[in-house]
Amino acid sequence: MIGEYLKTLRLEHKLSQRALAEKSGVSNAEISRIESGERKKPSEEVLRALAFVLEVDFNDLLEKSCYLNLEPSFYNANLIDKTNFNIYKEQCEDRFISIITPRILKEGFNMKLSKKTFLGNIIATKDNYIWRIRFIPIHENIGAMANRYLMDIYGYLACYDEFNISKFTIATNNEDAFKKFINKNPVNLNILVSVMLVDLENNEIVDEYIFEKTPLVLDYHS
């Protein structure tokens, strides 16, 4: 499963195996083994490097490599398989978009949806200001995955500055996840970062916690 998915992502980015190897640091031979199905469970280090280049959620690659069991358990939802999980996830995302859109437009931003959801489902722009918003629906593993997700997304933002993002928001409808997110202060990010809690049933933004903008830490001894 990971092999076909990786190949699809690579082709979407119009990269050859050699080009992906050069950008990620993963050997051409290893990429070939993964795509052919010979390597069914690549190391986490390999998956992390590929996720950065292919602009995909690291956890998606972990799931497809059988590191994570993401069978969901939603509140007020009887989900029996992954198909229903994906349907419910889409419904949650649609509801979130309907909640956040009025605020974005009221603040004078233009808005569009992004296919590269790792850096946010929504892109709001005003002049040179770029605000990306990533919505994460609730599921039973969110607590265990919160630290991993934040480490990956903050690391990605710190390493890849060509996106010129002004503000990045993580939004969720899970209060426990919200609390975990706000306890992880981002560092070395020269952008504004916030965490948002939304109530999908009542169609409202409950809270938004904005971290202090942290400057880059420079090593003057290097």
Domain 2-64 architecture: Orthogonal Bundle (1.10)
CATH number of 82-210: 3.40.1350
DSSP bridge partners of 193: 168
Q: Please determine, for residue 79, whether its predicted confidence score (pLDDT) is greater than 90.
A: no
Q: Please determine, for residue 198, whether its predicted confidence score (pLDDT) is greater than 90.
A: yes
Higher-pLDDT residue of 210, 69: 210
Q: Quick one: pLDDT at residue 147? A: 67
Edge-to-edge, what's the strand order for the sheet holding 129-136?
A: 110-113, 122-126, 129-136, 167-172, 192-199, 204-210
Percent of the residues in the chain that have a pLDDT greater than 70, as a whole number: 77
Q: Please determine, for residue 159, whether its predicted confidence score (pLDDT) is greater than 70.
A: no
Residue in 148, 115, 149, 152 with CA at minimum distance from that of residue 132:
115
Longest dimension (CA), the chain: 56
Q: Quick one: pLDDT at residue 81? A: 54
Tokens standing for residue 120:
């946010």
8 A C-beta contact, residue 49 and residue 31: no
**pTM to 2 decimal places:** 0.65
Q: Please determine, for residue 138, whether its predicted confidence score (pLDDT) is greater than 60.
A: yes
Which of 4-8, 31-35, 49-53, 66-70 has the least mean pLDDT? 66-70
DSSP class of residue 172? E
Extents of the domains making up the chain: 2-64, 82-210
Q: Is-same-fold flag (2-64; 82-210)?
A: no
Confidence label for 112 from pLDDT (cuts 50, 70 and 90): very high
Percent composition of the chain: helix, strand, coil (DSSP 3-state, to 5): 45, 15, 40
